A and B are shown apart, each in its own frame.
Chain A
């Protein structure tokens, strides 16, 4: 982690809190100061009352202090929160924008869940930086002040306290050690219940048909007694700790009071000072917050570091050029792409003629998806250049590029509030009619219309199968299709009849566009104008399916992958899908 970047980000976030930050510093300092002097003032007041001194003065001072305290406390919370809201919003906007600018590069370095964590939790934590910083420092004032005050009242009081304090600190440590082990076992048992429940839900159709729901409930709840046992263990630990906590601090106070009483009897201190001593002991025990202040600061730095880490990644830069009229010819000039496990494509030279249907085949890991990602600049080559109608993709403006190249994926992520939104998602505006037409072309129309609210159904409310999601994603690609359409294994979960109908759309309504189709299916390859056969990091062969079929190695490229995941894998594997697009 780059500490300096983290610190810079922390400062920037704190500055974004605006005028609330200095306001909070002021209230916090005042608050801490008043907290520290209040016991002394109260002691003086009591002494004045008892001895008939300047009662009114001391009383007025005490009351004024308490009023300041009330007002500051109120303002401090308010102002701190306001600053936090501003800082957090700024961090989130900044990070979100940057993640979008990074594009797929972001998912190559960070998983999707990780990024969500950074955007939500870490930004919120880092957004609290101003208050964390201020309070971490200011919270030390009352305890330190209290120790000093004890010493000022009487050195023996201070000594008594300082000897007793280690007991308190060691107590906190016992708590941490005791609890972690038993907590782990508790959460283990809890995880077993959850795992059994998830298993049963995966087999719910069997269970529903067999009418064995009750039996399954009992099975899932099998680990419940164990959970109860470990839960009881957790409470035992907690009970021990809270019992000790209830013992130590008050005993420390009693000890100090005893010494104070002795000094009172000898006339060395006044009754008011005895009162103040009692109050200061309680304040001074806050000295243990030294540890938590330090850890809070470290935490703020660590979370800021996680945000800064993403911000340090360089974003994708787009050019500003427009695209000349053209058929959509794609040219790969000496393209090399390196992955984490070696070179994926090496010095690839390939021209995809405009308006043709080109199938890309090859064994798993041969770089088919990378080739597809290169065609629309979802990823950049490490060396070489990809050109569309003669213009390097890097030089194109973002919207020009997106309007020219549309994508369909094996595991699309549907974005949008409703299915209609999800299909129309993209730069090209589409009406309801267009959406329904392309959904019909992608064979998604029938199942969408059967959903509770048809096209108005929220995708989140209607879990759909992998094949269904694939068809919706395809409809989206059809709506957005520009001069180039890239389909990355979109038919993997489709039955052959559906796939055939979609092939007809590709060769019919979409003819004339450049169609780059990554496929595992021989039938799809057979319908293509040309097949590009990838193997060993480059193009091993080109030609029609018929021409290539005579080679056994080519035929072997259509064999099922030994480790391939089944079709229709869970749609929740967004991260994996996104990573796949890039890798």
Chain B
């Protein structure tokens, strides 16, 4: 009766959410599509599964009939041997059925496992493409939880297919068996069975909706719970206990209401079981006198009852309970996966902005640009009236920016955090497309560079990417097949030799957990130094290096042919550049250090505070100490991030620390 497991109280993942507006259709639409396409592609496997299921149904088909024969021809007729023989037939049938069950399970695997592969692939490529198109940090935790969802979907899909398949097999077997005993028996069994199934199928949609409500309500409880427990200190410090308690309390009550609503729907489910499973039994028993009068034997009556009570009824019960539980999990998780990881609507590699394009002609960056693909004619960079915002209603991050850089010029971009330096870098690199205006590299719009922009410019972000693999693979990521001598030269130029030696050469396996933030940035810098590009963008790419190491790396890029744009982390970076751009909100000022000191209050502020960032009054004695050891050009001794730091992230706390005093 309730041997079947009740739905486990799963700790529901918090994000990504099911879209709350699209009740039903919005979520299940793409999910149903995914299922349909999976079914269509695996027709052969389904046919094989159906075949095994039929063999599996042999004992269900034979059981009642064999019992009838064993009783009538054997035991009641005084021929025990015949009775045993018939039961022996049943035992053989059971063995055959078990053998088929085993193969049917493997057949199930052939149907379910490919779906899992498809979902894993979808999650991987979908999230990577989607994140690549947006310049906000990705919700890595949410993505990690998606892989759990794949597992739930896999189990649920397997369960649903199994329930349907085993119900079909046992009911077909039992009905065939009944017909063999006496076709009239079908009259007692088939109508209520169909009525029960109809009731269940009719209520399925409403039931699914209730079950979904329960899951959503539970999820919302989990959401508030983690908000409350994760932010307990903040709740208490802000005196927000009552606000939080009320909000969470409402959600708890909503969850209880949803559970009650589901309980009422569950009653419909039980009713369909009663009609489809128990009513046939009642009818068979009630009709027994009439059947006996028609000449149906004692064995046949026993057989008929066996078919119904041991074949049909349990099969219907597992179908009804299984579909109601697993089927819903399947739809919800699939909806979630397709919603969160489905292919983004825009063309992915162009990296469209996370909003619909605005009015105005984006001259470059997008695939709509009219110019034909071409090679950049030089390494100069031009921006014309570039505007970018995250949403139509939001304020622009970059507003009507014009900028012309000569080939091989070295520009530093400075500004307070959040001024849009990274957005600027992404726009110039063509990773983000401006809403209005255009960016050209060597006279060609960045969106129309032949073979894509990645061949012509390198963008080095603050978060260095080091993947599990050899150091060589990591270094030659952007220039596969480059000779060792070239890599050697780049390592020496950028100042990564001690790191290479510490790790034990190029073949050493690197694990990003074992590298400090500064060491990861060095790997990223060497990697970016290798490809023959026209434009190099360092977006705070040296922020975890100490000032001397930073200077060495930046100078290496400045000596290299190609235009260099450095989004500066320290003012010293600005002082090394030919020109400096000060970003502040959507405004920008451009000039040399001297010009900006005269003309930009913000720049004066930046220079001033950058310099006294480490101790007002008499700051220089202690805070500059590390620099003296590492300050000699070409020396890498004493770099805290390289030689003496087994702890990753050490250099991170240096952010407000030492600063190279520049021209005074």
Contacts and interface: CB of A to CB of B under 8 A. Distances in A.
Interface string B642-664: 00000101111111110000000
Interface in B243-283: 243-245, 248-249, 252-253, 255-257, 259-260, 262-264, 266-267, 270-271, 273-274, 278, 281-282
A242 B238 CA distance: 57
Given A112-B232, A205-B459, A378-B233, A85 B143 contact: no
Interface string A27-43: 00001000100000010
Contact of B612 (A46, A106, A523): A523
Given A251-B94, A561-B653, A566-B649, A49 B289 contact: yes
Given A81-B263, A208-B133, A446-B418, A74 B229 contact: no
Contacts of B274: 70, 73-74
Interface in A284-318: 286, 289
B393 A208 contact: no
B418 A209 contact: no
B232 A562 contact: no
A201 B3 CA distance: 44
A63 B233 contact: no
Contacts of B454: 209-212
Interface residues of A, number: 182
Contacts of A50: 292, 298, 301
B218 interface: yes
A189 to B, nearest CB: 10
Contacts of B11: 116-117, 120-121
Interface in B446-479: 452-454, 458-461, 463-468, 477-478
B231 A193 contact: no
Contacts of B517: 566
B614 interface: yes
A209 B458 contact: yes
Contact of A523 (B262, B270, B615): B615
A228 to B, nearest CB: 6
Interface string B193-224: 00000000000000000000000001001100
Interface stretch (A214-222, A325-333, A507-515): A214-222
Interface in A417-466: 425-427, 443, 446-447, 449-454, 460, 462-465
Interface in B61-95: 63, 67, 70-71, 74-76, 78-80, 83-84, 87, 90-91, 94-95
Contact of A103 (B222, B236, B602): B236
B228 interface: yes
B249 A463 contact: no
A532 to B, nearest CB: 17
A443 B416 CA distance: 10
Contact of A526 (B97, B262, B615): B615
Contacts of A67: 282
A211 B350 CA distance: 9
Contacts of B615: 522-523, 526, 549, 555, 558
A239 interface: yes
Given A88-B256, A206-B524, A209-B454, A120 B225 contact: yes
A204 interface: yes
A582 B236 CA distance: 12
Contacts of B594: none
Nearest to A187: B151
B91 A254 contact: yes
Nearest to A447: B418
Contacts of A414: 231, 234
B239 A243 contact: no
A142 interface: yes
Q: Which of B12, B106, B278, B418: most chain A CB closer than 10 A?
A: B418
Given A49-B292, A115-B229, A463-B136, A476 B129 contact: no
B2 interface: yes
B585 A446 contact: yes
Given A59-B286, A415-B238, 15 more contacts: A45-B288, A49-B289, A77-B263, A107-B232, A199-B467, A221-B120, A232-B109, A264-B75, A378-B233, A402-B239, A415-B234, A415-B240, A446-B418, A578-B231, A582-B233
